[in-house]
Amino acid sequence: MVDLKEEIGKRVRQARLGKGLTQADICGDESELTVRQLTRIENGHTLLTIPKALFLASKLGVGVQELVDVEAISLPKRYLELKNRLTKTHTYGDPERIKELEGFLDEIYEHYYDGLPEEEQLLVEVVQAQLDVFTSRDYQYGLTLLEEYFQQILKKSHYSYNDLLIINLYFFCCALGLEDKSHMEQLASRVMEDIDYSDLERVYATERILVTLLINAEPEDYLTYTAVLRDIIERTNNFQHKPVVYAFEAKYYLLVKKDKEKAKALYDKAILFANMLNDEALAEEFIRESEKDLKN
């Protein structure tokens, strides 16, 4: 895999120099590719991904096959299994689930990380950072990634899967005390306007963002985000986040409308749906929240 990275990097560098272009000429405003990322590709430190190969081929005026043998780039099945578990599992603070995710990350770093394309490495790093932020309750663990990638994301009009993960990391850090919340409203609006229902992975990442936004939101704004979640659930028939919708709607009716009876009914639905999804940790969390909220 190292030889493949080095060979691709050499081809990219030769093609760029052959056109008389600098790295800055290729990267432009760096919304698609930063100079640092291109340097790592050319030096053989990271494996070129298909989207970046297409971007570079376009900029260099060459065919993709001149830069990379697309068929030579494949991801191990076990890595894909671990990635799926990492990106689909909610811990809800459950120690066993957190331990399980940490085990998945350890396995990826030990056996697969060094041979992954850059975008897959970034995905792993973002998941690791978010888990570290969550378990420590310290947003500092997310700052390195935000400092490197966040400004690039702000320049984009369309978000990749990794962009959505980093945006979610930003929102989560904001929930834990990050002072610079100036981009929250803009990013939240753009994420909700840019839902691509043809890409279920990106839709799922958007759902996670909406859940994080609910954590940040004022009670009077809860229904803004639950309405979008409801629409996604209706379109995709993926009910994993339906208990969360009911729980935040319960909080809205309790805190904003002062309707304790309606709030209790919605909390009961949240607990029922969590149990229907066989998510005992989530059901127990909502039982604790409902008891705490409704006792006053």
Give the tens place of pLDDT for each residue, 177-194: 999 999 999 999 999 998
Confidence at residue 146, expressed as pLDDT on a 0 to 100 scale: 96
- What does pLDDT average to over the chain? 91
- With a cut of 90, say whether residue 66 has pLDDT above it: no
Residue-wise pLDDT for 71-117, tens only, equals 556 788 999 999 999 998 888 888 999 999 999 999 999 999 988 88
Distance of CA 51 to the CA centre of its chain: 18
Spatial neighbors of 214 by CB under 8 A, at least 6 apart, are: 222, 225, 226, 244, 248
pLDDT tens for each residue of 244-284: 999 999 999 999 999 999 999 999 999 999 999 999 999 99
Q: What pLDDT, on a 0 to 100 scale, did the predictor assign at position 49?
A: 79
Residue 69: pLDDT band with limits 50, 70, 90: low
pLDDT tens digits, residue range 107-151? 999 999 988 888 899 999 999 999 999 999 999 999 999 999 999
Say what the pLDDT of residue 2 is.
43
| pLDDT tens, position by position, 210-253 | 999 999 899 999 999 999 999 999 999 989 999 999 999 999 99
Q: Is the pLDDT reported for residue 1 higher than 60?
A: no
Q: Which long-range contacts (CB under 8 A, 24 or more apart) does 92-100 make?
A: 92/279, 92/281, 92/282, 92/285, 93/281, 93/285, 94/281, 97/281, 98/131, 98/134, 98/135
For residue 227, what pLDDT is reported?
Answer: 97
Mean pLDDT on 34-43: 92
